[in-house]
Amino acid sequence: MKKIFLYRFLVLLVLSSVLGCTTPYQYQTNGFEDAIVIEATITNEYKHQEIKLSRTYKLEEKTPTFETKATVFITDDLGTKYDFQETKDLYVSSDQFQASPDRQYQLHVRTSNGRSYVSTTEKLPQQTQINSLESKAVTKNGELGVEITVNSADPTNKSRYYRYEYEETYRVVAPKWYYQKAVPVLFTPGTKPRGKVVFEDRTSEARICYLSQKSNELILTNTNQLSEDRVINFPVRFISSKDPIIRSRYSILVKQYVQSLAAHTFFETLKEISNNGSILSQTQPGFFYGNINPVDNPGEKVIGYFEVSSYSEKRLFFNFIDVLPGQFIPKYQYDCPAPIPVADKDSYIYKYCFDEPPCQGDVILNLLASGLRTYFPDESGDYILYPIECGDCTSFSSNIKPLFWID
């Protein structure tokens, strides 16, 4: 279950109980209702399974509160118990395990205040693999970009309901990287000049980095209207041709979850509420229940769903020029002009000397010491100081190449 949708839903839940009209300025939090939020999906992937517990939160609060010191475990119909241990912001199974198609599973939660919750029993749906991923140039709503589609098929016609997530990773190449780093050295206070700049060869990678991010939307489809249980060229991601994440090399890991009808219905409702998330909307959603219920307090509201899904994944790589040949490469994530417009030269080009103006040695020392600027050579002998992101990609990404990465 994606956090952004659940949290939008929680905000809407609060709004639905306290707003008497559609004007957001009349919002008050005195009608706020605290409730537990349970995000739990286990799969047939052999791993440490994860469960998240949190609380609903008010609009003025930025993030939910992680529910700590809870007892969390899953049981199956043979009496096997799978314990979960609290980590930083998740409950992780003590041992690796995978859901089996011939077992039924039930989630149990007991919070630190003594309240208990239990889910209905759930079974693993049909196991279906992703057959292929494809990337192709398409124009959507008048915008050229790359669409990534998934293909899957179940010859038994039992899967039918699918949910997708993705993790994307892309290579970042700093356009104004220089093999040497300009380091400010300050002299004893009162000395003139007050310092100097020395150049040191870089000892760590700062030109090529990698950034990763996860999907933050519910991506659902079903094959009920088809004669065969086939997912054909279903779009999971569209990336504008102007988006810098594809300016070099890009990779996406698509994750497929086969769902039960009940789980799919829950997520569809959640998606509908999220898509209608404007507080100006005339349609204010009410509370809807998942498959997790309170044990001791029948009237208590519980938000969330315990899902058992069969899992499949596949990874795809592409370069911009391979999918969009002949198109302009997207701009870098940060503004690193070259050549520098005349009107902007004073913001980038500085004279390295310490006498009377136009010398700017002290300014150079201060900018380099701040860590916000990076040096790039200029034919005139002046210093070009770009924003640090232009010459050192580690300022916003990682220089560690992922193990799965293929150049």
Dihedral angle over CA of 283, 287, 290, 294, nearest 10: 180
What was the pLDDT predicted at 380?
86
- Assigned token pair, 397: 């990404």
Average pLDDT, consecutive stretches of 10 residues, N- to C-terminus, the chain (407 residues): 45 38 37 83 98 82 84 98 96 98 97 96 97 98 98 96 98 98 94 94 98 96 94 98 98 98 94 61 56 92 95 98 96 95 95 92 96 93 96 98 97
Integer distance in angstroms from the first to the last C-alpha of the chain?
A: 32
Beta strands (DSSP E) in 20-175 are: 36-43, 50-55, 71-76, 81-86, 91-93, 104-110, 116-119, 122-123, 130-140, 143-153, 161-173
Cα dihedral sign, 30-31-36-38: negative
pLDDT at 286: 56
Q: How far apart are CA 31 and CA 9, in angstroms?
A: 16
- Measured at the CA of 95, the angle between CA 89 and CA 100, to 5 degrees, comes to 105
What's residue 190's pLDDT? 86
Q: Supply the pLDDT for residue 287.
A: 65
